[in-house]
Structure 1
Amino acid sequence: MFDFSGKVVLITGAAGGIGQGLCEAFLGWGATVLAFDRAAEVLAEMDARLHKASPDLTDLEAVKAAVASLTAITGPVDIVVNNAGAAAATALSNLKPEDWTHDLAINLSAAYHCVEATKEAMFARGAGVIVNIGTVNAMLAIGHPAYSAAKAGLVSYTKALAVEYGPRGIRANLVAPGTVKTQAWNARAAQKPEVFDDLKKWYPLRDFANPRDIANAVAFLSCDLGRMITGVVLPVDAGLTAGNPVLASELTLESF
């Protein structure tokens, strides 16, 4: 489908469900992949072709050191996929100050650090792509407020990157997933096995994305097919942010 032969791709949050999907996809498309995740034990079990590291993404110098160490082997990074993310509290009622700090650090500052660690090489070549993985939570209040606020900040940061670094040959975009079936849902599915069936009514396509759907969107924005696309937010959400079929049905007294 895509050809990334000769490209070096940095993927953060590589050990998570979406991250593993991204790594598998880009390896299959011929890329050299740098996989960053704090879960070193999970990384160790992943594809041996990956170039792996577990820096603290909230520490700029640690990220720079990890990038320098791996790119000494692979060559400079062409594409950065800032996928790392985490949510510490489900609602304002249980949000602690340390949760707020944590969520902003891993969901927003980490992306900034990865760009800082790779941008000079992109500037030198006059080319580069940054794809940030956000969330529909940045556009709708649907829980996890600190995580959502951080991802909303990521939208603004993405647009700033597109505007300020565009003249230097760098494109920056954001993919905003809705519900994605990954292991992150295991606890909720164990608590309520019918959770996915209950959620489907809110999605116009009555389905959910999987990690490969996210990887395909990232690849499109990263390749030459998307060469004139920068500064955009692309929801991959089965229509969730387009509108609410339940509300629309109740307002119009029509069935959708």
Structure 2
Amino acid sequence: MRSPSTEPSAHKTNLIRDYLEHVNSQPAPPRRWPREVWVKYADKLEDFKDGNNNREALLCLNEMVTDALSHGLDCLQYMASLQDPANLRFCAIPQITALGTLAMCYNNVEVFRGSVRLRKGLTAKILDVKTMPDVYGAFSDFTGLLCDKIGFVLVTLPYTMSQMGFAWGSAASVLYGLIGSWCVYLLVWLYLEFKSRVDLQGKVRPENYIVQYHEVIGELTGRGGRKITYFYIILTLFMASIICVVAS
């Protein structure tokens, strides 16, 4: 018998995957997407079928998927406690299938056009699961797919802009351009001020010497500013590396 610990994940996954089937059913089925979630993005649940509402539809979908994923740890802990391999396999296959389906559904507008299903090759691979290491491996594969999708959304600015709609996307692009231009202006001004001070002090630097940000700030603000800037550069590079790893 399947544990209550694993039931919510499978139930929510089926609810997410079968959106179109549910909204087109007459009479409406008793189990539908929770109103407290979709009402934040649309007046009616059926509005997500409209291609003009893709942005709101995907935001709602991603919130639903994120909520369903919150049961993953409970599922793993329960399955790890099972001693009988047959019981483990009985519980594991639906849960891995649910996770794979959630990974396929995340940020996927096809949920609102038809039903999203796992490919036959993935399904066959899931059916080969027999032990907990197999379960961990399958969970790792599908969470990796989710990370790829999340990373894609994070680091592809044009895609993100397209989800905002033409007006908001255009406004955000102009804003980013203005901020970027202002930053370039400040950097050029700081460098020129730094160069003039160095020239006045008569300091000689090697030919083709590349000036670093922390040197410029340090010259203008003192050692404290140099250290803060140096730390900021390291932190920025570290965060950029994390984003690249997530997106890769």
Q: Same fold (TM over 0.5)?
A: no
TM-score by length of 1: 0.28
